Amino acid sequence: MTDKDLLKIAEQFGTPTYVYDAESIKTQYEKLTSSFHKSTRFFYACKALSNINILKFINKLGGSLDCVSINEVKLGIRAGFEAKRILFTPNCVDLAEIEEAMSLKVHINIDNISILEQFGNKFGNSYPIFVRINPHIFAGGNYKISTGHIDSKFGISIHQLRHIERVMNTTNINVEGLHMHTGSEIKDPDVFLQGLEIMFELAEKFPNLKYLDMGSGFKVPYQEGDIETDVKVLGKKVEKAVSDFSKTSGKKFELWFEPGKFLVSGSGHFLVKTNVIKQTTATVFAGINSGFNHLIRPMFYDSYHIIENLSNPKGKERIYTVVGNICETDTFAWDRKLNEVHEGDILVFRNAGAYGFEMSSNFNSRLKPAEVLFLDGKAHLIRKRDEFEDLLRNQIEVL
């Protein structure tokens, strides 16, 4: 997909619009499958981007699905994933949501002692489960996306192993998988090896173990000079560690990973229109027809997105602060070099496929953008832009 294609999409479907390049997703998926042992399975973390067309495409590629809510599970079933290829890893839900997932026959991952006890007392060994462990490994791009540290709400502390064993012994639950996820944007592949060693140590406590799920957190580059997790190096290291452990212990496991951002981030291009150029005594603002209601990551995570002027790609470089149209501070980029921007120009935010539309809202009663999938050289509308009536849907007027 070229920049000319993006300009045509902006003209055809308007802005703001998220565009996803299917070929990019395929390339990233094949990069994973070619880097790890053939028995390794990849569960797409669909919280990154859950449009059903994206799910169907990843299903066709042969991927499995990682879900964190019962509705993501239902979307996965609707998209054609077999139940055995779906893992449900919720957080802070009640037993009723777990039971609903059981009725759909998907893999279930439990991440706290309370639900583990409730589940065991009610179901015993009638339904095999995963247990999510908190390894107390601090990893990830920043604190907000680090999930394995000591104060994280995710997982059962490795120091509570005795509690897990007590529940297993008293309720006879069948633990067939262990899971851990230490965070996102992990730069050092050895973090995964550190987690794997903890998994190996725990494995002897779970006699029915079949699966080890390492979560994900593979790093993707957002700007020039950024590194990407070297999955080929990681794949070789992981394969050796698993092989060595199998030789010494006699145990064999299927290894799972849960890539989300790694698969879809680079596929995404967010198209916006420049509404106004505003110059103050110190700053030139490029005000666009979007805001953090459409792309909250720069404000929420301090994330960096390359921004380019598609309408004037050879214009003289000037310095702009790119801001949105929300009645809050929604600055996407301070003092950014862009080819000269005029009112009406189309700008593109790169690496916008993950947690872009997925975290969008109708704040300020603004409408959600459209989504387009670029597949086999053609642009397909996969979500209509909101209309005014969508703001009133489900509201009940009593006055």
pLDDT by residue for the chain (399 residues), tens only, comes to 999 999 999 999 999 999 999 999 999 999 999 999 888 999 999 999 999 999 999 999 999 999 999 999 999 999 999 999 999 999 999 999 999 999 999 999 999 999 999 999 999 999 999 999 998 775 444 444 444 446 678 899 989 999 999 999 999 999 999 999 876 566 677 888 888 899 999 998 999 999 999 998 888 888 888 888 889 999 999 999 999 999 999 888 999 999 999 999 999 999 999 999 999 999 999 999 999 999 999 999 999 999 999 999 999 999 999 999 999 999 999 999 999 999 999 999 999 999 999 999 999 999 999 999 999 999 999 999 999 999 999 999 999
pLDDT of residue 150: 63
pLDDT of residue 239: 92
- Known catalytic membership, residue 67: no
44 is in an annotated binding site: no
Fold of 89-259: TIM Barrel (3.20.20)
**Start and end residues for every CATH 2.40.37.10 domain found in the chain:** 265-385
pLDDT of residue 11: 98
CATH no. of 265-385: 2.40.37.10
162 is in an annotated binding site: no
Active-site residue, selected from the candidate residues 46, 67, 92, 327:
327
pLDDT of residue 135: 84
328 is in an annotated binding site: yes
Residue (of 184, 173, 248, 183) closest to 206 by Cα position = 173
143 is in an annotated binding site: no
**Start and end residues for every CATH 3.20.20.10 domain found in the chain:** 89-259
**3-state SS class at 41:** strand
pLDDT of residue 183: 65
29 is in an annotated binding site: no
- With 0-12 / 13-18 / 19 or more C-beta atoms within 10 angstroms meaning exposed / middle / buried, residue 282 is exposed
Q: What crossing angle do the helices spanning 190-203 and 231-249 adopt, rounded to 10°? A: 20
Residues forming a β-bridge with 106: none
